[in-house]
Amino acid sequence: MSSEGRKTGGPGPRMSVDIAGIKLKNPVMAASGTFGYGEEFAPLVDLNRLGAIITKGISLEPMEGNPPPRIVETVGGMINSIGLQNVGLQAFIRDKLSFLGQFTTPVIANIFGGTTREFGELAKRLGDSPGIAGLEVNISCPNVAKGGVLFGADPEMAHRVVRTVRRSTHLPIIVKLSPNVTDIALIAKAVEEAGGDAISIMNTLMAMAIDPQSRRPLLSTIIGGLSGPAIKPVALRLVWQAAGAVKVPVIGIGGIMTARDALEFIIAGARAVQVGTANFVKPTACLEIIDGIEAYLRENGFKDIGQLVGSLRAS
Amino acid sequence: MSPSEATHKGSPYLVRGTLLQNHQVAPSYHKMRIRTSIPCENIEPGQFLMVRVSDQPFPLLRRPFSIHSMAALSKDEGSDIEILYKIVGRGTNLMANWKRGKRLDILGPLGSGFSLPTTTGTQFLVAGGIGVAGLFALSQRMKANGHTCLVFIGGKTREHVLCVDEFKTLGADVYVATEDGGLGFRGMITDMVVSFLRDHHTPSGFFACGPLDMLKAIAHIAQSQSVPCQVSLETRMACGLGACLGCVIRTRGSPLPGSEQAFGGGRNFPYKRVCKEGPVFDSEEVDWGVI
């Protein structure tokens, strides 16, 4: 379905954005880990309408993930500790990419390595695979024993990972940052300097929940990552801070449930957004957000989504 | 069946349903009847719905409910679906106050349901507490297919024993156990099954839904009798679509389809999704030691 001319009054505002050479029809992407490999949502969502699909984090070898219970709902959100269960690179390339290849929507592969070398190997092999528009480098997963958030918490480590990935592929590189850091601007700059083409902010906030009756943690790993509307104000603040510190595009993620939420991120400086937990609540959330952003642009006289990016009237 | 229907078979629908009825059937148990546009023939016994319980940020996630019964509508393609639910928390408390005519946001049918028996002979359906919810749809389908089933229903007290009359209306023999002896056999339903088996023939199959300890015991009984057993499991769930991997249980494992090599030949992939490969599992598949 074309987004143009849905309402009377001529062509609609321009919704397309460019993230490091990846051409998105609109700024709304499905976030990694919340949209599977696309096929899970295909019966309910026209995947061709999405700005991009970011696939579930992939590692070189399959990973079995953490023991259950892996999720718990909290006020305004949920804590997860999936532990990057995934089919591994080989099965991903062989079984999952061909399905996604049927659609016009760019596919961005989220990659995760336990070592710098593994990140490089993933980037190299995905760069040789058709059907991948870009990589999202996950240096921010709070739920794995090695790698993960450790890479994203230290500017030097982050720099090393991104530099290795940069040398291993010509694909556009998005680097997904953790909120569990003291100074997001420092990490963002390190990533930019190492050759990252864009930055996505943020991964989940480290969190926990307890059952007072049993005095047991509600997740097997005790600590997990909080997502959902509860984290939006934190994510928005980090996007604002990072967008002021780097020149590369920033992609906003964190508790986006509605078009209004997405607009807040864009105004704060995000060139695009990712929708995560909302997909669980409402499988069609991305589509409603796309329509809502377009309606806002139209109603407020914007001809191009780009006019809105970073347009916060701060003073 | 048209080609488009064929491709949709097994796929979930995201629909608006209309609440036809929502009434208490026992203290802390309600039954809800929903008119939906989901074709009845697309629903398998043992499948479930994800119901959105609020449009506020809390409670946020949809709640999963077994499909208790389904009936085709004569005039159009849809179905009336019943869910039987226990009021346990914030979500179900909200639901209990819903009034007739309310529009509901429904995702389903989801998951892999029960496989109907391929052999003749008596089937044992064993339910604990709210576990009866999913077994009723199964008994309906079994009756339609000419299978004989015996139904065992256990509950803490008589207030927790549900649906006895409904199963009887279907022509099934129903056996009841309560922990306090307030109704039927005194003790656990699994003890009743064991004692029943002393004087009766071994069934052709077990179908069970209820608390984990009950399922574990039934799985053990079935194994000792060398009878197949299907269990319906319940875990916390976020998406219901197989995407989030939040609802997994540990199984004895099987190589991931098509990726045997990636596992170095024999390595097993132990976690399976309750929302996709389940909620119904072959009891032999479940790793009862860890679960």
A1 versus B268: the higher-pLDDT residue is B268
Backbone angles phi, psi at A265, to 5 degrees: -65, -40
Same domain, B19 and B48: yes
- Same-domain check for residues B48 and B102: yes
Looking at the domain assignment, is residue B259 inside a domain? yes
Question: Are residues B104 and B82 located together in one domain of the fold?
Answer: yes
What is the CB neighbour count within 10 angstroms for residue B100? 12
Q: In chain B, which among 86-125 make CB contacts under 8 A with chain A?
A: 105, 107
Q: How many whole angstroms separate alpha carbon A269 and alpha carbon B241? A: 33
High-pLDDT (> 90) share of chain B, %: 85
Chain A: give the shortest CA distance to residue B147, in Å: 34
Whether residues B136 and B220 share a domain: the answer is yes
Residue B291 placed within a domain = no
Spell out where A59-204 has E strands: 71-74, 77-80, 107-111, 134-138, 173-177, 198-201
Is the Cβ–Cβ distance between B3 and B40 less than 8 Å?
Answer: no
Inform me whether the pLDDT recorded for A44 exceeds 90. Answer: yes
Q: From the list B57, B107, B250, which residue is nearest A283 (CB)?
A: B107
- Tell me whether residues A43 and B236 touch, CB distance under 8 A: no
Predicted pLDDT at B290: 77
pLDDT at residue B258 in the model: 47
**Is residue A286 among the annotated active site residues?**
no
Rounded to an integer, what is the distance from CA B270 to the centroid of its chain?
22
Domain extent listing, chain A: 17-307
- The CATH number for A17-307, chosen from 3.20.20.70, 3.20.20.10, 3.90.1300.10, 3.40.640.10, is 3.20.20.70
**Average pLDDT score, chain B:** 91
List b or e across B217-247, with b for residues whose CB sees 16 or more CB atoms inside 10 angstroms: bbbebbeeeebbbbbbbbbbbbbbbbbbbbb
Coil vs helix vs strand at A58: strand
What proportion of chain A, given as a percentage, has pLDDT over 70?
95
Domain tally, chain B: 3
Q: Is B3 domain-assigned?
A: no
Q: Which domain holds residue B247?
A: 234-281
- Partner-chain residue, chosen from B60, B235, B250, that has the shortest CB–CB distance to A281: B60
Question: Could you tell me the CATH number of the domain that includes residue B24?
Answer: 2.40.30.10
- Does residue B115 lie in a domain region? no
pLDDT tens-place string over residues A98-141: 999 999 999 999 999 999 999 999 999 999 899 999 999 999 87
Query: Would you place residue B267 in the very low, low, confident or very high pLDDT band (cuts 50, 70, 90)?
Result: low
Q: What is the average per-residue pLDDT within B156-170?
A: 95
Sign of CA dihedral A90, A95, A97, A98: positive
Identify the H or E element spanning B19.
Answer: strand B13-26
Residue at B127: amino acid letter: A
Residue B28 and residue B90 in one domain: yes
Q: B240-260: per-residue pLDDT in tens?
A: 999 999 999 999 876 555 444
Domain boundary among B192, B217, B232: B232
User: B60: which chain A residues are within 8 Å (Cβ-Cβ)?
Assistant: 73, 76-78, 228-229, 277, 281
Within-domain flag for B287: no
Task: Specify if B2 maps to a domain.
Answer: no
Query: Could you tell me if B64 and B140 lie in one domain?
Result: no
- Residues B212 and B178 grouped into a single domain: yes
The minimum CA-CA distance between A243 and chain B, rounded to whole Å, is 28
| B255 part of contact set with chain A, CB < 8 Å | no
- Strands B103-110, B48-51: pairing kind: antiparallel
pLDDT at position B265 over 50: no
B171 and B240 share one domain: no
Are the beta carbons of A71 and B238 separated by less than 8 Å? yes
CA A60 and chain centroid, separation: 20
What are B80's two structure tokens? 């009336």
